[in-house]
A and B are shown apart, each in its own frame.
Chain A
């Protein structure tokens, strides 16, 4: 089984650190806030799929990987403009292994991690947190269940984003799922899936890759994350 080290202000001997660094490629800290000694608020944006992994195909003919990358770029700009440090898992159409995505997030000691998806089914915005059971932070966490120590904070983050999206008139479904990259992250993490916007009659009013629709969702998320940053316990 693969493990990661999840330290919570622990004093670990240098030998143990060297041993872990050699054997475990995905060492990350899993601290409760405040996480960043610099006081920065770090957000990781993971544009799902990319390269050979095209994801689903949207009604416009575009692949999911292109829609998620476009949305990641939009959201990154808005978050950076609000003073947040944004780290992305990819900036172009390239293949990124799910484990590598989680490693990027874990090394950044992020305060919020968003895995971005797009789909043609359903309606509105789908927010997913990990379905792993909540657990207490520990020195070592199984790689496949690293998110379990952060599930409660991920649920709180999902609640904050859910409130903001509902307030701005989006149709939101909140659920839990098993998604490899999110389950491996040691940060408050959730998967956000943009589905078509639909009117009361069920007809599509905006596709997930529609630039205006994406811009509205991104603006709401940026405002919600700014509010989340202000909450007690954040850096």
Chain B
């Protein structure tokens, strides 16, 4: 004979177990829904932390060896060095696109830093405010760059031209790879010399 209080305790415990099972099932379903919703709401674009401005990119084209002017609207930081890095990152992102006219893998991560320094040398030969841009490329970018005289020259000139178009004070550019001087980009274009941005002349223009 089971005492009456034991029947009551058993019934209460059974009811509690069933209720907890239902609550756990409900919570599991909600977590699953949150997980599925989270995949769709993942940020695909960096938030705009700076005001959008018009920028000019000199984009290389391997087919005819040209540099084309492209106007873009980009969020650009106020600091000139950071601004230069964003501009060059946007340029290299174009080259990393699958249908790029000047295909180079790596994208924006190919530029590690850009430093802007006063142009060294005689005060007689320089305007006040002239700057030297030191572009520090990553070793991965240089290693993955296609080897060729034209393709390497176009990469260098498009970087110089883009800096000149957006930062007119930048008159000279030097290149480093992983912080070190390197003889050439991918076997051809000389990276030991100082490039004049005035040499990077666009040969055409498009407005996408």
Contact = CB atoms under 8 A, between A and B. Distances in A.
A193 B199 contact: no
B149 interface: yes
B202 to A, nearest CB: 13
Contact of B193 (A119, A144, A176, A202): A144
B153 to A, nearest CB: 4
A177 B149 contact: yes
A181 B153 CA distance: 15
Contacts of A53: 187
B168 interface: no
B184 interface: yes
A177 B149 CA distance: 8
Given A55-B187, A128-B153, A183-B190, A119 B63 contact: no
B186 interface: yes
A117 B146 contact: no
A40 B186 CA distance: 37
B148 A120 contact: yes
A20 to B, nearest CB: 24
A56 B189 contact: no
B190 A64 contact: no
A195 interface: yes
B151 A119 contact: yes
Given A49-B187, A180-B190, A183-B190, A119 B147 contact: yes
Given A56-B187, A180-B184, A121 B193 contact: no
* Size category of the binding interface on chain B: 20 to 34
Contacts of A119: 146-151
Interface in B101-140: 103
Contact of B147 (A55, A173, A176): A55
Interface string B58-89: 00001111000000000000000000000000
Interface residues of A, number: 28
Interface string A166-203: 00000001011111100100000001010100000010
Nearest to A144: B193
A53 B187 CA distance: 8
Contacts of B148: 56, 117, 119-122, 193, 195
Contacts of A177: 149, 153, 188-189
A131 B62 contact: no
Contacts of A49: 187
B150 A173 contact: yes
A5 interface: no
Interface string A96-126: 0000000000000000000001011111001
A57 interface: yes
Given A173-B64, A173-B65, A121 B188 contact: no
Contact of B195 (A117, A122, A178, A191): A178
A61 to B, nearest CB: 14
The 6 closest A-B pairs by CB, nearest first: A56-B147, A119-B148, A173-B65, A178-B190, A177-B153, A121-B151
Interface of B: 62-65, 103, 146-151, 153, 156, 183-184, 186-190, 192-193, 195, 199
8 contacts: A64-B147, A64-B187, A119-B148, A121-B62, A121-B150, A123-B63, A128-B150, A195-B148
